[in-house]
Amino acid sequence: MMTDELEYLKQRIPLLDYLQQRNWTARRVGAHLEFVGLCPLHPDTRPSFYVNASKNLFYCHGCGRGGDLIRFIGLSQGLSFRQSVAYLQQQIPPAADSEWLETVASFYQFQLHRYAEAVPYLQRRGLRDAGLIEELGIGYAPAIGKLRNHLVAHGYGLDRLLETGLITPQGRDTFCRRVIFPLGQPGPLVNLYGRSIGAAFPHRLLPRPKGGLFAWDSVRCCSTVILVEGLFDLASLWQAGFRNTTCAVGTHLTPLQLAQLCDQPGRQIDIVFDQDDNHAGQRASHALAQRLRSAGLDARIVHLPAAHDPNSFFCAGATAADFNRCREQAR
């Protein structure tokens, strides 16, 4: 990454703001924009961690470490330089991107009840709570795509639509005949996930980062977190009352998502991935459990009946009590 791009990234996320958002308390010292508080990088009893807000730098007189925001991310999260940059890139999407994603998500939400195939598909997937559907911001991209005309009418150029991946080179809606989940709840949207209701490839994301764990701000305070692969899995568990569920949108966790799970030492993570016939979900569960245990978390693998994921498990008639019994048998 070029130096000017790195500087732009650090300007978008000031070091002091980043620390204060994570409950770092400090007092101002001297006439300059300098602050001091307990060091987040080592056990500290006397304030020794200094931040120069104008230079966007830190230095700790206790542990002798210092640097910029990227350096702090690497030290605090145990990430490499490249991983730290990726973490920051996924933290905050560009404002303009967030705005047009909001416009697209709102358009799809409006379409959900205008096409006869959309809501029945959700019902077949076991999602019947209208309030939850609205809370999740679920929408629908119909077969006859109208997104292009809608966005052009709102001032978005065709070149930009092609660049973002919303429109194919043939001018068609990329998410055609898909149920849409906006990613980024709560806060600025970072991506859109589309689940095919027909014969097309099931999963689709825009060619951009998928962001952090779904609805993490509402889950991060929980001492026990249920982690699932898919958004329909999450919706089924939320509907059943398991609101401490989050989703990685796949089995591969990004550096940001892994750091989120590890931000509370001792947290219990119940991994409930798909019970695939090819054992892909099972292998991913074991690999992730080992990584989490190495980070000091209590990671357990919850086994559902063969060939089931949480969504299909509840669609087959399982209850919250059935799911809890599977959790009690977790290894």
Q: Report pLDDT for 317.
A: 97
Quick check: 85 pLDDT over 80? yes
- Asked if residues 101 and 192 have their Cβ atoms less than 8 Å apart, the reply is yes
Fold of 216-328: Dna Topoisomerase Vi A Subunit; Chain: A, domain 2 (3.40.1360)
The model's pLDDT over 172-196, given as tens digits with 9 standing for 90+, comes to 899 999 999 999 876 788 899 999 9
The model's pLDDT over 40-79, given as tens digits with 9 standing for 90+, comes to 999 999 999 999 987 889 999 999 999 999 999 999 989 9
CATH class for the region spanning 3-91: alpha beta
Cβ atoms within 10 A of the Cβ of 186, count? 8
pLDDT (mean) for 9-19: 78
Residues of the chain with CATH 3.90.980.10: 95-205
Q: Report pLDDT for 152.
A: 80
CATH assignment, 95-205? 3.90.980.10
Q: Report pLDDT for 326.
A: 96
Please report which confidence band the pLDDT of residue 93 belongs to, taking 50, 70 and 90 as the band edges: low
The model's pLDDT over 119-171, given as tens digits with 9 standing for 90+, comes to 999 999 999 999 999 999 999 999 887 888 888 877 778 888 888 889 888 88
Cis peptide before 186 (omega within 30 of 0): yes
Q: Which of 9-13, 86-90, 156-160 has the lowest mean pLDDT?
A: 9-13
Residues of the chain with CATH 3.40.1360.10: 216-328
The model's pLDDT over 268-289, given as tens digits with 9 standing for 90+, comes to 999 999 877 677 778 899 999 9
Quick check: 99 pLDDT over 60? yes
Residues of the chain with CATH 3.90.580.10: 3-91
Q: Report pLDDT for 8.
A: 58
